Amino acid sequence: MVTSHILGYPRIGERRELKIALETFWRGEVNEAYVREVGAHLRAANWARQTRAGLGFVSAGDFAFYDQMLNQTVLLGCPPRRFGFDPRHLSLREYFMLARGNADQPALEMTKWFDTNYHYLVPELSEATRFDGGPEWYFDEVREALGQGTPVKPVLIGPLTFLRLAKSTRRGWSRLRVLDALTGAYAAILERLKAMDVEWVQIDEPALCLDLEPAWLDAGASAYASLSARAPKLLLATYFGSTEDYLDRIARLPLHGIHLDLVRAPSQLEKWRAQLPRGWVLSAGVIDGRNIWRTDLRRALATLQPLHDSIRECLWIAPSCSLLHVPVSLAGERRLDPEVRPWLAFADEKLDEIRILAAALDRGESAVQDALEASDAARRARRSSVRAINAKVRSRMAKLVPALFDRTAPFTERIGKQRARLALPLLPTTTIGSFPQTATVRRTRADFRRGAIGHLQYLEAMRAEIRRAIERQDALGLDVLVHGEAERNDMVEFFGEQLWGFALTQNGWVQSYGSRCVKPPIIYGDVFRPEAMTVDLARYAQSLTAKPVKGMLTGPVTLLQWSFARDDQPRAETALQIALAIRDEVQELEKAGISIIQIDEPALREGLPLKKRDWAAYLDWAVRAFRLAASVAADETQIHTHMCYAEFSDILPAITAMDADVLTIETSRSNRALLERFGAFEYPNEIGPGVYDIHSPRVPQTEALIRLIERAGEVIPLQRLWVNPDCGLKTRDWPETEAALRNMVAAARHLRARVLPAETDCSGV
């Protein structure tokens, strides 16, 4: 019999039950016991789904109230000592403080999980770090799963990946110095699982798909040599890339099996077939855990059947990675485009695909003939759909020439014209784009979607919100304003609703971090902009004030990365199609009198391939897509872009090549380290380092903000420095937002007055 399993399952719930529980707890409306009860219900439901699908194991330990890396930090007992928490008696409230900060301490740094849009919390390690274990949560969940009656496969983030993704809190101190202590903590965890009669443990090591230096490979070998003696059987799970570079070393580890991502890296299979150690399980990840397209079951069987013939019961089948990255179920999608719907598979449908593949291998294809024919029919329908091809888009793509990717003049010439037009003071203050999405705003949008109010009533309500946002910003004294994005449910979904070639879901929620969930659009065809998307409201906002109001757009790479992209053409081609649509919007905003246009690209870094040898090709088309979107702007029009929650220091040349006039970045959680790298690189254009963390409920004080801006001025000349929060403010409330921005403006004015005499005209500085 073929063993089927998954590496993890979505934890938010089909109706975002986890999100609702967390946010009511944070508001003080429910207690800790209620949140734990919701978590237990979600875990039980997830295990029931896996059992119904006939999986050989259910996965335990993949649930987290906020983040799996934070869970691993808690399990190991190594939360930062700066919080003063007792690791063994950590409360759920303290757990959330690690993620969100408190009055005394900023939250753990947050960044992207490899090349996904999921954010993890970065462990902090130092010579003082101890791994003495935490509360019993993880083991309690394994006991819960064991009580369900189906074999259980607990999941752990492996020691190599945990250490690689952690950060040192002291410059020059190597994280490898805690390897022995860390390995001892893992050994203790595995020993306890073995005592609980757990047969298999999945230990996730996606770091083995990165570029690893010899010292890190040696560290991994050392760790696993120490773990094997007291552990259950270990399935080493790799995903998001290929392990070919390290195959020989991995195959010598004292393990019992390897999981391979055969969607992202199918070429590694043949080498593993030839070198698979005797007795090892090979878990074949043939179903895409990152995207929502229905699996070509016959193609998957063509991969699996030779493996099954040669290694028989040592073949396991699975998705390529955890299903955390896809929505829960298609069952509730009653309004999804009926032509597109049969092409899709969410988490529950992927469980069924695993069941079909296992049955075909065990009992022959005739046993699942109807399912195979349905798969074939869906694939034929998608391939022949006339809606996927747009002749106008194809014609424009064929006419792209190098001149379309460049601004008319270099930055050194543009900036003088922009300063003359905008007349901004030294250290101009602004925000990233969104303002609090109040219950009233959300209710109005919901009423409009279900037809309870008409278009005119909805438009008037949105204009009223924009007017209030402009008035508040004027009162606060901000220099460059935004309209607040009251009409936007999400920075990607909003544009997906208006662009042809995109399909939208009702309940296709995916966790981004904590309680933050997004509904990625589905790109199924050529992308075309039929009409202006943001111009009317931008024009209206600008009419309310003499100060510049930014036009707000999402960039082509982010629209691609944060959607479920089509897999039937190169991603570079889709990115350029989107760029043409955004280019048209930039041109119309400019014609409407908008003098500053922000094209956000927070996903640029996230799209990097895991191996550096593949970076150049990606960065080439990603930068070209941004430049195609922005280059239509006149010299006097200032182009901004925003990036956040990722490590950008290793792609600074590419960021410079984007040629945005102003770049705003997140730096508050990284202790200014990222800004220092921009300074050392001598980034040539203007830059706005985020001066406070918008994901924390803490209101920054003016004195602290003054010190942060002063530190920024030590690495970036004040004449090129902007002052802003580190991200959008949609998740905050208005009193907190206004208090923080009031302090931010006061800090900028204080430094302005110190640097310049009161009578000096700061415009053009």
Catalogue the active-site residues: 695
- Grouping H, G, I as helix, E, B as strand and the rest as coil, residue 44 is helix
Given a contact cutoff of 8 angstroms between Cβ atoms, the answer to whether 347 and 287 are in contact is no
Reading the block at residue 150, the tokens are 């189906």
Q: What SS3 state is found at 658? A: helix
Distance CA 352, CA 733 (A): 42
Here the tokens at position 250 are: 């991995």
Distance CA 6, CA 52 (A): 13
Report which residue type is found at 673. Answer: A
What whole-number distance in Å separates Cα of residue 448 and Cα of residue 28? Answer: 30
What CA–CA distance (Å, rounded) separates 737 from 730?
10
Q: How far apart are the first and last CA of the chain?
A: 73
3-state DSSP assignment of residue 653: helix
Torsion of CA 317, 322, 324, 329, to 10 degrees: 0
Task: Please name the residue ranges forming H helices in 570-697.
Answer: 571-591, 615-630, 652-658, 673-681
Name the 3-class secondary structure at 714.
helix
Q: Is the dihedral of CA 598, 422, 529, 500 positive or negative?
A: positive
- Residue 473, exposed/middle/buried by CB under 10 A (0-12, 13-18, 19+)? buried
Specify the DSSP class assigned to residue 231. Answer: S
Helix (H) or strand (E) holding 561: helix 556-561
Residue whose C-alpha is closest to residue 43's, from 118, 134, 148, 139: 148
SS3 assignment, position 320: coil
Least Cα distance to 202 among 276, 142, 132 occurs for 142
Cβ neighbors of 386 (< 8 A, separation 6 or more) are none
| Token pair for 99 | 């993620």
The upper half-sphere exposure of residue 228, i.e. CA atoms within 13 Å in the direction of its Cβ, equals 13
